Amino acid sequence: MYFSGSLLLALFGGIYSDITVVARKWHNTGGSIVFEEAYTVPDMLSQVGNSTAALGGTNAELRANLLDISGHRIDLMNQNDIDFMILSCAQPCVQGISEPEKAAQMAITLNNQLAASIANNTERLGGFAALSMHNATVAAQELKRAVRELGFFGALLNDYQQAGADGQTLLYYDQPEYDPFWEMVTELDVPVYMHPRVNIPTIHNLEFSHAPALGGAVQEFAVTLSNHILGLCINGVFDRFPKLKIIVGHLGERIPSDLVRIDSALIRPNNQGLPMKQNVTTYFKTNIFETTSGNFAPELLDFHISQIGLDRIMYSIDYPFVNIPDGTAFLKTLSKRMKRQDYDSFIRGLAIKLQALTITHEKIPKFELLASGGTNAELKANLVDIEGRIPLMDQNNIDFMVLSCATPCVQGFSDPEQADQLAVSLNNRLAATIANNTERLGAFAALSMHNATVAAQELKRAVQELGFVGALLNDYQASGSDGQTPLYYDQPQYDVFWQMVTDLDVPVYLHPQNTLPIVSSLDFGHAPQLLGPVQEYAVTLSTHILG
């Protein structure tokens, strides 16, 4: 650590292949096509909880809008130039049912009910199948029935499937036992929309109890679902099924904003031998599509276009959790910024042809998991070395470097007294080590964050007596007799610390560390390679920052 000085579906017709397909009749007026749009049924209404509707709405309005299929929904479509809408069961839907037989039966019931509800208006409304993912073969057969008999366009899965007697076992679809399901998806040539869900209490309480407002769409949804999407990548699902098409909402759950870091972290030596044969960026250009549902940011859309291409991005809304008119205002802004051809592709063109999209894999550059040249022994030597880094600084035009204790440092010590003493010792030793070269080297203080007043006083000492330039905190402070209680610094008891930071007028660098073991096993057990800088660090620390 240093500072240097220097998606949708070929809805309709126009499917080009060797198979003759009868064109679907639909309301084609040149308007938009949207397909992350939720509904529910009375038996599932309890899953809605106390959620509120889109900005300005009430819980009662949300429930009414979810139950409504062809009333107010159609009126809003007409008022906002929406030609066609594909409906899907509101999260967590069947993924929240941990008993396999009950989940499988509920999926069949939901699909039959939705098909019946839209039967008289298939020119305006379509459906994504709800599926129980306890058993890959059962899921595959229900998807086949929903597509071929009910006329559905694919499926929408609300992230992981809860399982086990207590509902605490999480099933991820990046494992080989789900290959029969992905084989069926490929055979049917339909997309699967991966949608977020509320977490089981174990995960939610550990990761978000310090800042409950971060639950749901603010942070939780992107953190959890992006883990699953990256698991599909690194565990080789797209290599085993190169024609597979996955759609991810909310601008790809932020993954395309971080592709450079993810790809570079995955080529480190400890990640050699992964099942993946390409990098994540490649999969976003061949297998994964994203929509703008609930994320109407023109400048961010521009960046994503630069990263994965407009031919991977489509419009959707996330109704009724997001207001349809908000999406319309977004489109009006885009219509003034985009070329007409690009705009048409974004709001409808790609959605129309996606189901028949042909991907020429031969033109994709081969990506190999190459070693970066470093070893664990070299890493340890470089961490211990202080003066030896000066030649590297000279060779790379680095004027000044600020040093800090490698993660997790003091934040990994759950005993308060031990952590306090270690912080003092580390700061004294670092100050002595760089004393003869303060023109090139500076330091961030290590701090024990068990007690805000103690942390504030040590920071003051490090800055005023040792000449440090601020502090670096490695995310949350581990505490408790078992080290399983994370302390987050967004709580009022830490105000005395932040007051000292302000008084001293110095920065605090918040740096990632590994999650607690229980969270790690639940969030990343399905894809351990996502630990560390690939995904774990970003989702864990960003939750703290947003707190």
* Residue 160 in this model has a pLDDT that exceeds 90: yes
Predicted local confidence at residue 516, as pLDDT:
86
Share of the chain above pLDDT 90, in %: 81
* Residue 355 in this model has a pLDDT that exceeds 70: no
Return phi, psi of residue 442, to 5°.
-130, -170
Predicted local confidence at residue 24, as pLDDT:
62
- In which residue are the tokens 């020429």 written? 360
Mean pLDDT rounded to a whole number for the chain: 90
Predicted local confidence at residue 512, as pLDDT:
96
Q: Strands, DSSP E only, in 128-260?
A: 155-157, 161-163, 169-171, 192-194, 246-248
Give the Cα separation of 57 and 83 in Å (integer).
25
* Mean pLDDT along residues 228-239: 98
* Lowest-pLDDT choice from 20-34, 339-353, 378-392: 20-34
Domain 376-519 has CATH 2.40.10.10: no
125 burial class (0-12, 13-18, 19+ CB within 10 angstroms)?
A: buried
Of 540, 539, 546, 516, nearest to 222 by C-alpha is 539
The reply to whether domains 32-355 and 376-519 share a CATH topology is: yes
Peptide bond before residue 275 is cis, with ω within 30 degrees of 0:
no
Residue 462's pLDDT band (cuts 50, 70, 90): very high
Return phi, psi of residue 78, to 5°.
-65, -40
* Residue 515 in this model has a pLDDT that exceeds 50: yes
Q: Vertex 103, ends 97 and 109: CA angle to 5°?
A: 125
What tens digit of pLDDT does each residue of 36-55 get? 999 999 999 999 888 766 77
- Contacts with 405 (C-beta within 8 Å, 6 or more apart), sequence order: 426, 430, 446, 472, 474
> Residues with catalytic annotation?
318
* Residue 143 in this model has a pLDDT that exceeds 60: yes
- Contacts with 93 (C-beta within 8 Å, 6 or more apart), sequence order: 40, 44, 47, 110, 130, 158
- Contacts with 196 (C-beta within 8 Å, 6 or more apart), sequence order: 91, 158, 159, 217, 220, 221, 222, 224, 225, 249, 250, 253
- Report the half-sphere exposure of 316 (CA within 13 A, side-chain side): 33
What tens digit of pLDDT does each residue of 194-205 get? 999 999 999 999
Of 509, 529, 364, 391, nearest to 445 by C-alpha is 509
Residue 448's pLDDT band (cuts 50, 70, 90): very high
Q: Assess contact for 281 and 326: CB atoms under 8 A.
A: no
Domain ranges of the chain: 32-355, 376-519
Predicted local confidence at residue 89, as pLDDT:
98
Predicted local confidence at residue 86, as pLDDT:
95
Domain 32-355 has CATH 3.20.20.140: yes
How many Cβ atoms are within 10 Å of 61's Cβ, its own excluded?
A: 15
* Mean pLDDT along residues 8-20: 30
Find residue 441's DSSP bridge partners: 401
Of 505, 513, 437, 516, nearest to 471 by C-alpha is 505
Predicted local confidence at residue 381, as pLDDT:
85
Predicted local confidence at residue 373, as pLDDT:
59
Distances in Å between the alpha carbon of 300 and those of 91, 229, 294?
A: 26, 20, 13
Top mean-pLDDT range of 242-251, 389-398, 509-518: 242-251
Residue 8's pLDDT band (cuts 50, 70, 90): very low
Q: Assess contact for 140 and 98: CB atoms under 8 A.
A: no
Residue 519's pLDDT band (cuts 50, 70, 90): confident
* Residue 19 in this model has a pLDDT that exceeds 60: no
- Contacts with 463 (C-beta within 8 Å, 6 or more apart), sequence order: 445, 469, 470, 504, 506
* Residue 358 in this model has a pLDDT that exceeds 50: no
For the chain, the residue count is 547
Q: Vertex 316, ends 540 and 245: CA angle to 5°?
A: 75
* Residue 56 in this model has a pLDDT that exceeds 80: no
* Residue 233 in this model has a pLDDT that exceeds 80: yes
* Strand ranges of the sheet holding 288-291, from the earlier edge strand across to the other edge: 155-157, 192-194, 246-248, 288-291, 313-314
* Residue 359 in this model has a pLDDT that exceeds 60: no
Sign of CA dihedral 430, 431, 437, 441: positive
Q: What is the pTM of this model?
A: 0.85
